[in-house]
Amino acid sequence: MTSYSAYDFDRFLRYDEMVAWLHDLARSFPNLVNLEPYGKSHKGRDLWLATVTDGSTGAHDIKPAHWIDANIHATEVTGGVAALYVLHYLTSEFGHDSNVTEALRTRTFYIVPRVNPDGVEDALADQPLYHRSSVRSWPWRDGHTWPGLSVQDIDGDGRVLTMRVADPDGAWIEHDQEPRVMIQVGPLGAPAGKQRYRLLGEGVIENFDGFTIPTPRDPAGLDLNRNFPSGWSTTVLGSGDHPLSEPEIDCLVRAARARTNICGYNAFHTAGGFMLRPSSTHPDSWLPPFDLWAFKELGKVGADLTTYPVHSVFEDLTWDKNNTMGGAGDDWAYEHLGVFSWTTEFWDAIFAATGDHSPTDIWYVGPTPEQELAVCRWTDTHAPGSYSNWYAFDHPQLGKIELGGADVFRTWVNAPPSRLRDEVAPHAKFAVYQALASPRLEIKLADAASLGGGVWQLRVGIANTGWLGTEITAWAEKNKIVLPLTIEIAGATPVEGGSRVKLGQLAGRSAFRVNGNAKSDGTPDRVLHTWLVRAKRGETVTITAVHQRAGTATVSIVLP
C-alpha cells in the first residue's frame, strides 16, 4: 500500500492504493478532510468523494463550493493524479498559503478522484486492457466479441504498442531519420525501394479470414462522458441506454445535485493541453453574453497559471458541427446546475517537445511527422522506453510481424513520470482561484432601536462579497435555476409579516466590470431589510441569512 506521505505524484495509483492514500489523508487532516462513498461502480467498487474545508469555520454545506472530478475515461489517468494533487495542495498549504487558507476558511471543495475505477483498473493492470470508459458491455449486452482486431497486450510486457506488417499496399513507411516513427504514404506512393507497412494496434484477430482485418469497437463501448442529461442523444456514440443509465454517472449527478452550494465545476481528462468550456453542442452566440465574457475572464487566469489555452468545444474542437459531443459533464454542469464549468485536458506531448501547443484538430488528424519525430526524440531523454525499437514477434494469426513504436498510453495520452507532478501542480492554484471567485454572503450591518412599548426596529444589511453574483451565471438567472436569498429572525415576534423573508439575488463584483465606462457601481451587491418586532429588553435576537450557493451568515443582537 502507498501511504499519504510516501506518494510523490510520480506514478499512477491502482484503486486499492488510491483508497488507502485517501484514508491516510483524511486521518492526517481530520479537521479539513472528510471521506465518504457516494455510490458504487458497475463492478461494485466504492466511488469516493473527499470534502475539504476548514471545519472550525463551519460545516461544508454552509459555504460556497467548487467541484472537481477525474478519470471518467479509463486511460486518462493523469487527471486522477491531478485530483489527488489538489487534495495534497489544499491540505499541505492550509495555514501557509494565504489564498488556500482563505479558500478553506470560507469555501468548500468536493473532489472525486476516480469516477470510473473499473476502467482505470483495466488500464493499469499488469496486462492492460484499454477501454474508452466503462467496462460494461454495450450495446452488445452478451459481451460478444465481433470478428476482427481485439486490442490488448499480446506479449505480456505490460504495454500495448503497434503491430506493423510488411504489406506492399500498406499506408505507412519509416521516417527517414527515425525508424520508430512511421509516416503516411502520400498520393504518389512510397519512394522506390521503400518498404511499406500496414499498422495495427497490438492485439489478436478474432475469427481471422486470412485477408480482412475489421476493427470493431471494444464490446465495452460506453462513454460515460456522453451519459449526462444535457444534450444526450441516441445518435452520440457510446451514450448508453438513456441519460444516467450508468451507475457511475447516476451517482455522480445525484451527489452533485444534493450539494446545492456548488458554484463551479471542473472535470479532469487527457490529453491535448487544453482547458475546454461549454458548449459542446452550440456556438458561442448561444451563450448569454455575460457568461461568455466571464468564461473568458476566468480562462485568462487559468491560461496564465497553467500555460493551457482555452477553447470552446463546439467552436474550436468539433470537426463536424453536425456531429457534436452531447451528454458531456461540463455541459450538464453549466446547463443544469447553472455554474461555470470546465474540462481540463492534461498533457500536451507536442508542447513538451517543441514549445508549440497541439493544434485543435489533433484528436482527428494526429501529429505531423515533424511533431511526432520531436516527441520521439524528447521521450528518449525525459521518458526512456516510451518509443520502442521494432522487434520480431510470431503472431498467432498473422505470423511473423514486428511490435514497437509509441507506447501511446505513456507518451501521448498521459504525462510520463518525470513530468507528472510538474504537469498537474499549477492546476491546483486555478482550482483555488475558481473557488474564491464564488459569491459569499456576509452580514455587514445589524442593529436595533427601541420604538417604545416593547417594539423594536431591527435592521440587517447583507452583502455578497464574492466576484460572481449569487446566481453565478446569466444562464441560471434566465432559467430560474437558483433559489433566492432568505433571512430569518429568531428570538423576537414580528409585528407584521413572517419571520422568514425572501430577498432575491445579489450581484457580485463581476457585474461592475460590465457596467461600461460609468464606473458608478451603486450597491447591487447589497440588500437592507428592516423588521418591526416585539421583544423584551436584554433578549438576544438571532438573524440568519441563507443562500443555497453563497452560504449562510448569522448574527446575534442583544436588545439594549
For residues 340-349, average pLDDT: 98
Residue 139: pLDDT band with limits 50, 70, 90:
confident
Cell of 140: 452488445
How many CB atoms within 10 Å of residue 445?
12
Tell me: the pLDDT tens digits for 88-133? Answer: 999 999 999 999 999 999 999 999 999 999 999 999 999 999 999 9
Q: How many whole angstroms from its chain centre is CA 533?
A: 49
> Tens digit of pLDDT for each residue in 185-206?
999 999 999 999 999 999 999 9
The answer to whether the beta carbons of residues 389 and 311 sit under 8 Å apart is no
Q: What is the pLDDT of residue 336?
A: 98
pLDDT for 315-330, tens place per residue? 999 999 988 889 999 9
User: What is the residue-averaged pLDDT of the chain?
Assistant: 95
Residue 517 is predicted with a pLDDT of 63
Model pLDDT for residues 398-450, shown as the tens digit of each residue: 999 999 999 999 999 999 999 999 999 999 999 999 999 999 999 999 999 99
Looking at this protein, which amino acid is placed at residue 115?
V
- pLDDT band (50, 70, 90) for residue 521: confident
Give Cβ neighbours of residue 139 (< 8 Å, ≥ 6 apart): 221
Query: Three cell numbers at 370?
Result: 515533424
Vertex 171, ends 170 and 174: CA angle to 5°? 95
- The answer to whether the beta carbons of residues 312 and 437 sit under 8 Å apart is no
Q: What is the pLDDT of residue 83?
A: 98
What percent of the chain has pLDDT above 70? 98
pLDDT value at 518 more than 80: no
Supply the pLDDT for residue 3. 72
Instruction: Tell me the three-class secondary structure of 249-316, residue by residue.
Output: HHHHHHHHHHCCCEEEEEEEEECCCEEEECCCCCCHHHCCHHHHHHHHHHHHHHHHHHCCCEEEHHHH
For the cut 80, the answer to whether the pLDDT of residue 284 exceeds it is yes
Q: What is the pTM of this model?
A: 0.96
Q: Check residue 516 and give its pLDDT.
A: 67
Q: What are phi and psi of 454, to 5 degrees?
A: 75, 15
Q: Does the pLDDT of residue 141 top 60, yes or no?
A: no
